[in-house]
Amino acid sequence: MNSGKTVFSQLMDFLPSYEFRLCVDRYQGNYKVKSFSCWDQFLCLAFAQLTYRESLRDIETCLRAAGEKLYHMGIRGKVSRNTLAHANEVRDWRIYQDFAQVLIQNARELHQNDPLAVQLDQTAYALDSTVIDLCLSLFPWAKFRKRKGAVKLHTLLDLRASIPTAVIVTTGAVHDVNIMDELFWEPGSIYVMDRGYVDFSRLFRIHQDSAFFVTRAKKNFRFQRLYSHPVDKATGLRCDQTVSLCGFYAQKDYPEKLRRVRYFDQQTNKALVFLTNNFTLPPLTIAQLYRCRWQVELFFKWTKQHLRIKAFYGTSDNAVKTQIWIAISIYVLVAIVKKRLNLDHSLYSVLQILSVTILEKTPILQVLSHFDESQHMLDNDKQLILFN
C-alpha cells in the first residue's frame, strides 16, 4: 500500500515545473503574492477540471474537505473562494497559455509517430472554431449579437496527434477568416479548413509561405478550366482539374493556378468540390484529407462534454481565458500520461478513473491499469472517443 503521494500529486509530477516557473516569471505572476501562488491557482483549477467542479464554492468545499491532503497535493496556500476568484481576475492568463504551449510541444513529440488515416509524409492540420454561449449581462465584453454573448475558440489541430497546436480565444463577433492573419504557416505542411476560410488573398499567403491548403469551394465559385486529369470514378472521384480564377479581384488576390477536385460521397449522397494548391498528392488523398477534418469537430464536442469550458468560474475576460487554457493543459497532460504509461484506454476512460481516485494514495499506473474498457464501452457505445 502506497502511503505517500496522492494520485493527483503523481499526475502533477508529469508537469515540467521549471517551465511553469519561467512562464510565471515572464509575466511577473507572483509579484507581491504572499500565500496563494500561481502554482496553487493552477492546481486548484486543475483539480476542478479533473473532478468536474461546478463553481468556486464547490472547489473551496471539496478542497477544504481534503484537509491535510492539500499539502501532499502540492497546494501550499489557503484555499478560499475569494482568493481563487481574485487570482482568476488579476493573474495574467498568458501564463497558462504559454505553459499549455510547452505541454503541447511535449505531447506532439510523443505522438509524432502515430498513424494518420491518410498516408502522408507531411504534417496535417485542421483549422476550425467553436462558439461557447455566454450570458451577455454577465459577460458584457463578449458581445456576439444584440442580445447574446459568446466567445470563440479558434483551434488549429494536429491531425496526427489530435493535439491543439494553436488556440485563439476571441469574442463571438470575430469572423473565422480573420484568424488566418494571426497564424504562422509551416512550410510543407497541409492545412485543412472549411468554406468559412475561403479568402483568396489569405490563401495565397499560405501558398507564398510554401505551405498547402485543402478547402471546399463555395457554390458561387467561378473558375476557368485549364487542364483535366484522368480519375478512377469507382472511388467516388468525378474530376481532377487545374483551374484559374475568374474575375478581376479574384485573380488579383490569387494569381496562381489552383487544383479543383470533385468527389461524390456515397455515405451522404452529396457531391463535394475541393480546392487545393497541392498538385502532387493523388486526388483521392485530397478527398480523404478533408474527411479527416472531422477530428477537430470531435475535439470540440469532446472538450465541451468532459472539460469545464461551458460554465466559468469568473466573468472577466482574464478569468475566462485562464480557465480555458488550464482546461487545455489538463487535456494535453492526460494525453501525455496516456502515452508515457502506454495505456490502451481512451482519453475519456482515463479522465473518468482519475475523477474518482484523485485523492487516493495508490500508484497511478496501478489505478489506470486495473480497468476493463471493453466491457465499459459496451454500455457506452455512443460515447465520443479520442486516442483509441
pLDDT tens for each residue of the chain, 388 residues long: 445 788 999 999 999 999 999 999 999 999 888 889 999 999 999 999 999 998 999 999 999 888 888 888 888 878 899 999 999 999 999 999 999 999 999 999 888 888 777 778 888 999 999 999 999 999 999 999 888 999 999 999 999 888 999 999 999 999 999 999 999 999 999 999 999 999 999 999 999 999 999 999 998 899 999 999 999 999 999 999 999 999 899 999 999 999 999 999 888 888 999 999 999 999 999 999 999 999 999 999 988 888 888 889 999 999 999 999 999 999 999 999 999 999 888 888 888 899 888 988 888 988 888 665 554 443 444 445 454 4
How far apart CA 225 and CA 257 sit, in angstroms, is 10
Residue 379 has a pLDDT of 45
Residue 371 has a pLDDT of 60
C-alpha cell at 118: 491518410
Residue 322 has a pLDDT of 95
DSSP state of 252: H
Contacts 24+ apart (CB under 8 A), 180-189: 180/127, 180/205, 180/206, 183/127, 183/156, 185/209, 185/211, 186/123, 186/211, 187/211, 188/122, 188/123, 188/212, 189/122, 189/123, 189/124, 189/125
Radius of gyration of the chain from its Cα atoms, rounded to whole angstroms: 23
Characterize the bridge pairing of strands 163-171 and 270-276: unpaired
How far apart CA 19 and CA 52 sit, in angstroms, is 26
Characterize the bridge pairing of strands 223-229 and 237-245: antiparallel
Characterize the bridge pairing of strands 258-265 and 237-245: antiparallel
Per the CB < 8 A criterion, the answer to whether 327 and 302 are in contact is no
Residue 378 has a pLDDT of 39
pTM value? 0.89
Residue 372 has a pLDDT of 58
Residue 387 has a pLDDT of 46
Query: Strand, helix or coil at 250?
Result: helix
C-alpha cell at 58: 464547490
How far apart CA 222 and CA 220 sit, in angstroms, is 6
> Which residue do the cell numbers 491531425 mark?
159
